[in-house]
């Protein structure tokens, strides 16, 4: 189960990176004001052709990004359902904060009021309980 959670975190980073890159490229091109309608005029210049190619690439990238977001959403739903099966409140809370919210051990420790060793113990026991319940 730990491997699944790690893959979910990796998928989240991938989606975030894609979103950041998409926004960076979009801003650098300033394509938000482009009119996509065909005005019926003569065939475009090379500049217009190049821009059309860029827009097409951006649309393809956006579709890929949406697919990756969907994959992440499915993983997060599965993780949420799996973690919610834990009967120990502390184990459930630590795993939820650690893997779903991606909070640091320090923040979890501070918010929950436990020592560092207890946070790691709750995490370890929660993962073990999830492994044995499969």
Instruction: Tell me the pLDDT tens digit for each residue of 29-74.
Output: 765 555 555 555 555 567 778 778 888 888 999 999 999 999 999 9
| Neighbouring residues of 80: CB distance < 8 A, sequence distance ≥ 6 | 96, 100
59 domain-assigned: yes
Cα angle value 29/60/102 (rounded, 5°) = 85
Q: What is the C-alpha to C-alpha distance for residues 88 and 129, in angstroms, rounded to an integer?
A: 10
Buried b (16+ CB within 10 A) or exposed e, 88-106: eebbbbbbbbbbbeebeee
Q: Is 48 helix (H, G, I), strand (E, B) or coil?
A: helix
Q: Is the domain of 22 the same as that of 74?
A: yes
Q: Is the domain of 52 the same as that of 1?
A: yes
Structure pTM? 0.77
Q: Which domain holds residue 13?
A: 1-31+44-84
What digits encode the pLDDT tens for the residues 108-128? Answer: 999 999 999 999 999 999 999
Q: What proportion of the chain, given as a percentage, has pLDDT over 70?
A: 87
Q: Is the domain of 74 the same as that of 90?
A: no
């Amino acid at each position: 189960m730990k491997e699944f959670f790690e893959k979910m975190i990796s998928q989240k980073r991938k989606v975030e990176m894609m979103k950041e890159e998409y926004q960076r490229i979009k801003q650098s091109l300033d394509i938000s004001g482009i009119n996509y309608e065909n005005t019926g005029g003569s065939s475009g210049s090379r500049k217009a052709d190049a821009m059309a190619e860029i827009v097409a690439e951006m649309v393809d990238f956006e579709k890929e990004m949406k697919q990756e977001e969907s994959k992440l959403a499915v993983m997060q739903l599965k993780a949420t359902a799996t973690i919610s099966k834990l009967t120990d409140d502390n184990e459930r809370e630590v795993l939820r904060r650690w893997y779903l919210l991606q909070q640091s051990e320090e923040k979890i420790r501070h918010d929950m009021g436990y020592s560092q060793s207890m946070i790691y113990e709750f995490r370890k026991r929660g993962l073990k309980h999830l492994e044995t319940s499969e």
